[in-house]
Amino acid sequence: MKKIFLLIMMLAFLVACGGSEEPADVATDTPTEAATEVVDAATAVVDEATDMPSEEATTEVADTDDTVVVATDGLDISYFYENALEAANLVDCTLSDGTATSCYEITIAGYPANHDVGPFCPPTIESTADEGGLWLDGTNVYDIDGAFIVSLPEIYNDDNWQMYDEDGNVNITDTAEEFDLAARPDVDPSLQNHCVEGRIEWLENGEPVPTTVTIPATPVLADSASAGGNWGITLNGVIIAAQAPVDAILSAYTIAAFDDCGGHINPVDGYHLHGARGCSEVGEAPEGETPIFAYAMDGFPVHSPLAADVEAVTDLDECNGHTTEEFGYHYHANPAEENGVLTCFMGVTVGGGQDGPGGGGGDRPEGGPPDGDAGGPGAQGGQPGDAPDFAAAAAILGVTEQELQDALGGPPPDFAAAAEALGVSEEALQAAIAGEGAPLADETVDAPSGEVQMVDDGIANVGEGRTFTLPGDNIFPEGVSYDPATGKFYVGATSDGTLYVGDVNGSAEMTVFSEAGADGRTTAVGTKVDADGNLWVAGGGTGQMFVYDTTDSSLIASYTTPATDATFINDMTVTESGVYFTDSFRPILWRVTDLESGEAEVWLDFTGSVLNYVDGFNLNGIVATEDGSALIVVHSGEGELYRIDVATQEVVRIDTGDIPLTAGDGLALVGNTIYVTRNSFGEIVELALSDDLSVGTGGDVITSDLFGYPTTIAYTGNTFLVANSQFNNRGGTPNLPFTVAQIPLPQGEY
């Protein structure tokens, strides 16, 4: 695809005046020959004498009003700023549609080559806009100055906002420890009402995080648009991240501050971009156009946002792209306030199966950034991001839209009074307005304490449940697995790696199966028991896997994954073809095929597939069909289920309609019925799968007073064992003892 670029290599950047509508103040470094030294000799080079592309870089040159229009074919490395790239090499690759072609494997520096980052949070409520950055909430761009901090209760219609002390000092994450606890989906309660600010020196080794991506050298238009995770890379060496879920950030009463260039730092990717603010533009553009500042993951250039009046008369496609004589096909970034640079791809991205992650952004350490999905404390319906969809909320609640709006009244809404008027709980009302929850039955009754209720089109089945207790006050269990041959079940402690064993036919008190730290096991996440009675354990952020003999607790084997500061081995499923492990931060499905210690196999790389990795938690629970021919995984952040064909490695999204599955965690597959645990929502969702596993319907919800931030479930034949993690109390005071709930499998007419 031919693209023509108007390239004047010295760009006079606009100086930000502190106002939210001007681009940030950046240095005027320009792309130079140093950026091209890492590429193939055939790649275009830059003529340093004129700061213009040399003839080698030019496919076509034409004069237009005394400016030079340069046309090139495909991604042009010479456009990148000096020091933006650590490496760039042409490699063979296969696109997601099966096209064999050439790609650039590019490692970006992970830090802007032409400007410093920050500032982010203002120090006091007297601070000016020059002392803080920006907040992009999906609707508006706010200068984070002192006045903004003071005005948060009015802006978001919630008096719980109080982000400064009695002396007027703003609450800021000012240590690496506080940053790690706040810049994650489950924000530590002590760090609510904080402005979250990261620093490069708090990252691993105190340095920026380089990211390697693989991008088609020559872009190919797809038959239809596709979703993305990380959208691309800027010309100054920064990853363009997926849209941050503003509601989740605000629900914890935090502000994940951006600098004036629309970027911020998290413990995972380091500095990354969420809004296009003109800080990495190259060249100028004719009237009605904007300069290039990035390349998308499909290889098409990304230009700065169009002015609103120009966009209104420009024929842009669904992905904000169009074709012009000067530039060929290219995207225009969304306005910065939308907190997402792109919406979709019109080109074909790189397919899976490459060696190691590529094309999908940096590795991600345990906990995840504030951009991750979370149903944090204090969530309020109608908080910013997208405006509340009252029609959808009314449908969930079983009332008319007018009845809902009448009940809410004028701002600020009285949720308690509105819930009473509508005959629903306040929690159900807020969840519906936030876009979560299934349509309610005409009448539901709260489940008695210690009992289980299933809401199912008015059919409720209530049965007794019980709990098993774990010894200890700092366990925060995650994985639970069941051995049908013995009736025993196993749970791991995320805090220190202790493994516990219980018996469904025995005592209500569990005992230690393997002590903390044994065999180098410092944390334990998912667990599974195979047909031979061996216990498999996922090692979370350590990148390890373990397998134990359940007869004597001895280690059979342990496995590692390539060293990185960003991995989270989460859950596994056991089949005849191997044991498959999900990684919540790396876009990889790992496999182990024998009981000999060593390194796990990269069985499937999701980069470029329909399964996108985003900021925060990604793949979580995994199950296999009875014959082992297919795997089903849940994407926690996006709330989607995917089917993976074991023979072909084809990845297909399962159509679940509008059934909410965000915060999906552990899975259980019983015949063609799949159960999805939604941890922060305290519920299990039941879906009936079609025979080909392409569609899931139903969405019935199981809740229980015995649940405490449930993470995983194990099917025993007629009951579920449910691990109560209490992750919402991590960093605070847990409700002791820690427990595993056992609830009956609801029966009824579905």
Dist. CA 179–CA 201, nearest whole Å:
12
Q: What is the pLDDT of residue 244?
A: 77
485 shares a domain with 437: no
Name the pLDDT band for 687 (thresholds 50, 70, 90): very high
Q: Can you tell me the mean pLDDT for 543-572?
A: 93
Dist. CA 311–CA 253, nearest whole Å:
34
- Asked whether residue 354 carries a pLDDT value surpassing 60, the answer given is no
- Calculate the CA 557 to chain-centre distance: 32
The answer to which of 69-78, 258-267, 517-526 has the lowest mean pLDDT is: 69-78
- Asked whether residue 6 carries a pLDDT value surpassing 50, the answer given is no
Phi and psi torsions of 79, nearest 5°? -75, -15
Nearest to 465 by CA among 476, 479, 478, 454: 454
- Asked whether residue 569 carries a pLDDT value surpassing 90, the answer given is yes
Dist. CA 366–CA 173, nearest whole Å:
18
- Asked whether residue 246 carries a pLDDT value surpassing 90, the answer given is no
Tokens of 307: 């002015």
SS3 state of residue 466: strand
Task: Give alpha helix (H) positions in 409-476.
Answer: 415-422, 426-433
Give strand pairing partners of 688. 673, 697
Please report where in the chains the tokens 């202790």 appear, as a residue: 498
Q: What is the pLDDT of residue 72?
A: 45
429 shares a domain with 512: no
Q: Is residue 120 part of a domain?
A: no
SS3 state of residue 513: strand
Q: Is residue 225 part of a domain?
A: yes
Name the pLDDT band for 415 (thresholds 50, 70, 90): low
Tell me which residue range forms the domain holding 414.
390-455
Query: Judging by DSSP bridges, how do beta strands 683-689 and 696-704 pair with one another?
Result: antiparallel
Dist. CA 333–CA 543, nearest whole Å:
36
Q: Is residue 631 part of a domain?
A: yes
Q: Is residue 55 part of a domain?
A: no
399 shares a domain with 332: no
Q: Can you tell me the mean pLDDT for 631-658?
A: 95
Phi and psi torsions of 664, nearest 5°? -60, 135
Give 262 or 45, the one with higher predicted confidence.
262
Q: Can you tell me the mean pLDDT for 451-467?
A: 47
Under a CB-based contact definition with an 8 Å cutoff, are residues 162 and 410 in contact? no
User: Of the candidates 296, 312, 347, which is a domain's last residue?
Assistant: 347
Q: Is residue 25 part of a domain?
A: no
Mind giving me the DSSP string for 323-378? EETTTEEEEEPPPGGGS-S-S-EEE--B-S--SS--SS-----TT--TTS----TT
Dist. CA 275–CA 256, nearest whole Å:
13
Cis upstream peptide for 746 (omega within 30°):
no
Under a CB-based contact definition with an 8 Å cutoff, are residues 489 and 483 in contact? yes
User: Of the candidates 347, 375, 409, which is a domain's last residue?
Assistant: 347
Give strand pairing partners of 328. 324
Q: Can you tell me the mean pLDDT for 283-291?
A: 90
286 shares a domain with 212: yes
Kindly tell me the burial class for residue 573, based on how many C-beta atoms sit within 10 Å of its own C-beta (0-12, 13-18, 19 or more): buried
Please report where in the chains the tokens 């991001």 appear, as a residue: 385
Give strand pairing partners of 557. 547
Q: Is residue 230 part of a domain?
A: yes
Q: Which stretch, 311-315, 322-326, 417-421, 632-636, has highest mean pLDDT?
A: 632-636
The answer to which of 55-69, 132-146, 246-260, 300-314 has the lowest mean pLDDT is: 55-69
525 shares a domain with 565: yes
Per-residue pLDDT tens over the stretch 174-231: 999 999 888 875 677 889 999 999 999 999 889 999 999 999 999 999 988 887 678 9
299 shares a domain with 218: yes
Nearest to 630 by CA among 682, 667, 599: 667
Tokens of 443: 């009448």
Give 577 or 67, the one with higher predicted confidence.
577
402 shares a domain with 339: no
Q: What is the DSSP letter of 230?
A: S
Q: What is the pLDDT of residue 730?
A: 83
- Asked whether residue 350 carries a pLDDT value surpassing 80, the answer given is yes
Instruction: State which H helix or E strand residue 249 sits in.
Output: helix 246-251
Give 243 or 509, the one with higher predicted confidence.
509
Report the interhelical angle of 415-422 vs 426-433 (nearest 10°). Answer: 100
286 shares a domain with 315: yes
Q: What is the DSSP letter of 652?
A: E
583 shares a domain with 519: yes
Nearest to 514 by CA among 537, 530, 532, 533: 537
Nearest to 479 by CA among 537, 408, 550, 394: 537
Q: Is residue 135 part of a domain?
A: no
501 shares a domain with 430: no
Kindly tell me the burial class for residue 652, based on how many C-beta atoms sit within 10 Å of its own C-beta (0-12, 13-18, 19 or more): middle
Kindly tell me the burial class for residue 735, based on how many C-beta atoms sit within 10 Å of its own C-beta (0-12, 13-18, 19 or more): exposed
551 shares a domain with 430: no
Q: Is residue 52 part of a domain?
A: no
Please report, for the domain that includes residue 614, its CATH number.
2.120.10.30
Tokens of 746: 């609801």
Nearest to 741 by CA among 538, 514, 467: 467
490 shares a domain with 524: yes
Residues in the chain: 750
Q: What is the pLDDT of residue 225?
A: 85
Q: What is the pLDDT of residue 742?
A: 93
**What are the Cα distances from residue 366, in Å, to 475, 588, 620, 657?**
17, 15, 13, 30
User: Of the candidates 407, 430, 455, which is a domain's last residue?
Assistant: 455
Nearest 5°: the CA angle 532, 534, 536 is: 135
- Asked whether residue 335 carries a pLDDT value surpassing 90, the answer given is yes
The CA-based dihedral angle spanning residues 692, 695, 699, 703, taken in that order and rounded to the nearest 10 degrees: 50
Per-residue pLDDT tens over the stretch 599-625: 999 999 999 899 999 877 899 999 999
Tell me how many domains the chain contains.
3
The CA-based dihedral angle spanning residues 244, 188, 519, 593, taken in that order and rounded to the nearest 10 degrees: -30
Tokens of 248: 């989740």
Dist. CA 216–CA 102, nearest whole Å:
6
Per-residue pLDDT tens over the stretch 135-166: 999 899 999 999 999 999 999 999 999 999 99
